[in-house]
Amino acid sequence: MSTTAVPITTTQLPATSSTPLSISTPQSVLPEPQVQALVFHVHLFIAGCIALVVLLRLPRGLVRFWKPSEWCSGHFFRRVRFRERAKLTRAPRHGQVSRESSRFASTDESHTLCAQTATRAIHFVDHKGRPLKPSYPPHVPSCPSILRPLVGPLRKCIIPGYSNLQVLIMVAYLAVLLYPFIYRSNFLVEAQRAGWIAVAQLPFLIAFAAKNNVVGWLLGVGYQNLNFLHRYIGRLIVLAANVHSIDYFYRWSFEGTVALNFRRASIIWAMVALVGLDLMFIFSTSFWRAKAFNVFSNVHFFTFVLVIPSIYIHKPTTLPYIIALLFPFGIDYGLRILKTRYVSATIRPLPALNATRIEIPSINTGWRAGQHVRVRIVSSSMFSFSWFGWTESHPFTIASAPVLSGSGRPAVGEEGMVLICKKSGNWTGTLFEMAKRSGYIESGLTPGGVDIGRSVKLLVQGPYGGPGHAMFASYSAVVLIVGGSGITLALSVIQDLVQKDLHRQSRVKAIELVWMVQDPGSLTPVMPLFAALVHSSPSFLTISTYYTRAFVPPSEKHAKAVKEGRAGRPGRIGLTRVMENAISSAVSISGPDAEGDDRGINGMLVGICGPRGLSEDVFAAADAINPARRDQVGGVEIHEE
């Protein structure tokens, strides 16, 4: 018997075959160059959508350049010399009598200071008796009349802190980014997709975060109104970066090459970038922003400086996106330097408002009413109160109006920049203590020529924010509803409107101010300015204050006050009625009896500065206005500072 040997052959699998079949690369998966092209074109589509919105808002933006002086307004601070000219006077028309009245009503819960001027019976003349020619700003509404019914629902909030419009934008943004993530994709083997999406989003992240925001300028909105997109995109980047990393960890764990891969320099730098992004996310939560803003801002800046080069070392082909993000970053910080002024200022305590007043006479123009600045105290006296106070900068709305180009001294208000800084934290508390411990200095605020104050050195950066494409002077009515320190917005806007109205550069016919404060003592520092504004304003001007801690009168007295229409409830104001009163005043001046009025009907602007609850109340009150009344005045727009 013979036996036949059966040869046995063995085949050794290549080292790479240890990868499980479940995560092998299928043929339908796109190669990396095609993934890069897909991600690029999707982000090009996002940029195109932004450009389309800019194009739709372009007519409203172009009208801001109706006057050469508007070209540089709201960008750089400066000081101009006054062109001395005679005081403007208001003379009655031939055969008519000027009718001017003022009223002051007071209760335990509110004060109302009202001036009514029959502007149709007067005209403006200069010192030689020549009539002033009007130069009214053009007006373009922010929303076509056919779309006005959508404005109210889009303003409402279903998710706290976000309007329905913002939610729709975020959902649409996410849907666009999901397309390159899921198109012909195998999530277990295509980790690079999430990584490329994260990197491609970096230029948009920086563009929506910049204080000198090019996108904001083009859209006509302040950087703070685009910040929700910055936060949202930042979270999407962190999510995509972690998905990108976890996918690789999953593959390496099956291959058993985790330790081997972590010896590569590119992977080490990738981990540095990932940890940096996660730290930025953790320290950007609302807790850190509210409780330790300096920690948040410093971690944000230094980790960003570390993350960007780490991404490039990890993947050099990301260079085009890194160059793209450097453009908005460089423009922002370059303009921050150009917008910073080293100035001398005087600080004074305002105990009634629990605030500090900062006066900067060396700056008197360059901003628009409603804009704010960032202030940093660099005087050596700060060290006596706080060792690190000089490292902090804080935003404050400007409380004075800029000087009009080519005009004389302001008819009312201040001749320089004025800030009112409410005591609300350690830094503002230190500022208040510095002002309280000041001495006597020369001043024109008191008859004796001296007043309490302290001279300090500041770094003032700005201006920022503001009404964007909206021009307060182009509307027929302006309603300002503010709470507490939000009075700074109202003071700036009203002074600016009165000044422009005296030069026939304003279409505004009725101004309503509603100010909510804790007690009547808060009126003391601003009452002289209120009286001067009421006396000087050619328009219907009503200033009402309501006290949130007011003494509630007995029921009989309260009922009588309500019946007479001169009292309200503390903290509960008929905001819809206030807006409708402004509409009635504006429309009546343009009615059949309004002889000689050539300003037309151009809508009403409602300005808000206060807590979030106040904004929601104003939105609800604006939505409650009868649509016929809203259309009668040309629409109601809201600006929130």
User: What would the pLDDT profile of 449-487 be if each residue is shown by its tens digit?
Assistant: 446 678 999 999 989 999 989 999 999 999 999 998 899
Residue 591 DSSP class: S
Classify residue 458: in a domain, yes or no. yes
Q: Residue 283's pLDDT is what?
A: 94
Contact present, 425 and 396 (Cβ < 8 Å): no
Tell me if residue 228 falls in helix, strand or coil. Answer: helix
Classify residue 126: in a domain, yes or no: no
Alpha carbon distance 447, 237 (integer Å): 61
Residues 359, 399: contact at Cβ < 8 Å? no
Q: What is the CATH number of the domain that holds 533?
A: 3.40.50.80
**H-type alpha helices, 367-486:** 426-436
Q: Is the predicted pLDDT of residue 360 greater than 90, yes or no? A: yes
Same domain, 283 and 376: no
Whether 356 and 407 map to the same domain: the answer is yes
Rounded Cα gap, residues 403 and 460, in angstroms:
18
The answer to whether 590 and 599 have CB atoms below 8 angstroms apart is yes
Tokens 């921050």, located at residue: 336
Average pLDDT score over residue span 264-287: 94
Question: Could you tell me the two tokens for 87?
Answer: 């005081």
Task: Please choose, from the candidates 567, 487, 483, the residue with its C-alpha nearest in 3D space to the C-alpha of residue 525.
Answer: 487
Q: What percent of the chain has pLDDT over 70?
A: 78
How far is the C-alpha of 214 from the C-alpha of 231, rounded, in Å?
18
Q: List Cβ neighbours of 274 (8 Å cut-off, separation of 6 or more).
A: 241, 242, 245
Confidence of residue 407 (pLDDT cuts 50, 70, 90): low
Smallest CA-to-CA distance from 112 within 486, 496, 477, 513 is with 513
Pairing of strands 477-483, 450-465: unpaired
Query: What pLDDT is stored for residue 487 in this prediction?
Result: 94
Pair (165, 313) in one structural domain: yes
pLDDT tens for 88-108 read 555 444 433 333 444 555 555
Residue with tokens 């109205």: 501
pLDDT band at 358 (very low <50, low <70, confident <90, very high): very high
* Lowest-confidence pick of 134-143, 390-399, 435-444, 493-502: 435-444
The strand pairing partners of 537, in sequence order, are none
List of residues 6+ apart from 198 with CB closer than 8 A: 236, 237, 240, 241, 244
Q: At what angle do helices 32-56 and 191-200 cross, to 10 degrees?
A: 30
Based on the domain organization, do 515 and 499 belong to the same domain? yes
pTM of the model: 0.85
Of 337, 362, 391, the residue that ends a domain is 337
Q: How far apart are CA 353 and CA 491, in angstroms?
A: 15
Domain edge (last residue) among 291, 316, 337? 337
Contacts with 137 (C-beta within 8 Å, 6 or more apart), sequence order: 63, 66, 67, 471, 473, 474, 505, 506, 507
Between 496 and 121, the higher pLDDT residue: 496
Lowest mean pLDDT among 134-143, 212-221, 310-319, 370-379: 134-143
CATH code of the domain containing 382 = 2.40.30.10
Q: What count of other Cβ atoms lies within 10 Å of the Cβ of residue 489?
A: 26
Query: Do 124 and 136 contact (CB within 8 A), yes or no?
Result: no
**Alpha helix segments (H runs only) across 555-606:** 555-563, 575-589
Separation of alpha carbons 537 and 532, rounded Å: 8
Distance (Å, rounded) from C-alpha 40 to C-alpha 330?
22
> Which value, in Å, is the radius of gyration of the alpha carbons in the chain?
31
Average pLDDT over the chain reads: 82
Q: Tell me: do 315 and 399 sit in the same domain.
A: no
| Domain identity same for 222 and 368 | no
Find the distance separating the first CA and the last CA of the chain, reported in whole Å.
Answer: 104
Same domain, 520 and 409: no
List the domain range (segments joined by +) for residue 462: 339-442+451-466
Q: Which run of H or E residues covers position 571?
A: none
Asked if the structure places residue 89 within a domain, the reply is: no
The predicted model gives 167-190 an average pLDDT of 88
Which tokens is 393 given? 């900068």
Establish if 253 belongs to a structural domain: yes
pLDDT given at position 563: 41
Q: Could you tell me if 434 and 510 lie in one domain?
A: no
Structure tokens at 527: 């009452």
Residue 334: is its pLDDT beyond 70?
yes
For the segment 438-456, what is each residue's pLDDT rounded down to a tens digit? 765 544 444 444 466 789 9
**Residue 556 belongs to some domain of the structure:** yes
Q: Is the dihedral of CA 625, 626, 630, 633 positive or negative?
A: negative
Q: Which two tokens stand for residue 330?
A: 């460089």
What count of other Cβ atoms lies within 10 Å of the Cβ of residue 304?
18
* Contacts within 8 Å (CB) and 24+ apart, 298-305: 303/276, 303/277, 303/279, 304/276, 304/280
Q: Helices then strands (H, E): number in the chain?
A: 20, 16
Q: Both 597 and 512 in a single domain?
A: yes
Domain boundary among 311, 337, 363: 337
Tokens matching residue 523: 């009126």
Q: What is the DSSP letter of 81?
A: -
Residue 315, SS3 per DSSP: coil
Q: Is the pLDDT of residue 115 over 90?
A: no
Does residue 24 belong to any structural domain of this protein? no
CA 618 to CA 392: how far, in whole Å?
A: 33
536 and 510 together in one domain: yes
CB 416 within 8 A of CB 359: yes
Same domain, 135 and 223: no
Question: Does residue 565 sit in the same domain as residue 587?
Answer: yes
Tens-place pLDDT, residues 32-81? 888 899 999 999 999 999 999 999 998 888 888 877 777 778 899 988 87
Q: How many domains does the chain have?
A: 3
- Give me the amino acid identity at 79: R
Alpha-carbon distance of 594 to 581, in angstroms, equals 17
Q: What is the C-alpha separation between 179 and 517, in angstroms, rounded?
A: 51
Are 366 and 327 in contact by the 8 Å Cβ rule? The answer is no
- Residues paired with 196 in a beta bridge: none
Show the tokens assigned to 337.
Answer: 């330097």
Residue among 481, 500, 373 nearest 74 (CA): 373
Is the per-residue pLDDT at 13 higher than 50?
Answer: no
23 part of a folded domain: no
Q: What is the DSSP string of 487-536?
A: HHHHHHHHHHHHHHHHTT-----EEEEEEEESSGGGGTTTHHHHHHHHHH
In a domain, 254, yes or no: yes
Q: Is 370 left (phi over 0), alpha (psi -120 to 50) or beta?
A: left
